[in-house]
Amino acid sequence: MYVRLATGALLVLDAKNLQRPIGILLPLDEHWAARVDILKALRAQLLYRKRSPPPLTSQQRRRIQLALRTLDARRDDASYQTIARHLYGAEAVSREHWKTSSLKAQITRLSAHGTHLTTKGYRYLLLGKRPTGRSKPRK
């Protein structure tokens, strides 16, 4: 019996004993290394009930959420100032002159990051790379 996993791999099972996987068939394509890493985590979870640490930190997940919310708002023609009010509150926005506000710069960066994520950045995330597209942090 075969089960196709979300990674594209085929899980081969013994039809008489579904608890015991026999093997996994994996395509030898350009994403092979990422698939192997994913399957190592799956193996650890299946055999040892051991969960892998999440691929993204909570700060990275929060930044992605804010970036995508910012991008959605921009696509609905919301101004940067309106977005900042919704994300950070009217009081935080009114503390600084908007034209030179650090929040304005932050919303601009979030918008650019959201655009990056929707154009090609999501592929990096799926391949287990950092959201910026770099596989290693800057030095």
Q: For the chain, how long is the longest CA-to-CA vector?
A: 70
Contact 84, 107 (CB under 8 A): yes
Question: Confidence class of residue 19 from pLDDT cuts 50, 70 and 90?
Answer: low
Here the tokens at position 25 are 């068939």
Round the average pLDDT of the chain to a whole number and report it.
83
Residue 115 maps to a domain: yes
- Output the pTM of the full model: 0.67
Domain span at residue 95 reads 58-126
DSSP 121: I
Residue 6 maps to a domain: yes
Same-domain check for residues 70 and 119: yes
DSSP 14: E
H or E stretch at 112:
helix 102-116
Q: pLDDT digit string (tens) for 52-108?
A: 777 788 999 999 999 999 999 999 999 999 999 999 999 999 999 999 999 999 999
Read off the pLDDT of each residue in 37-65 and give the average, rounded to a whole number: 84
Percent of the chain with pLDDT over 70: 83
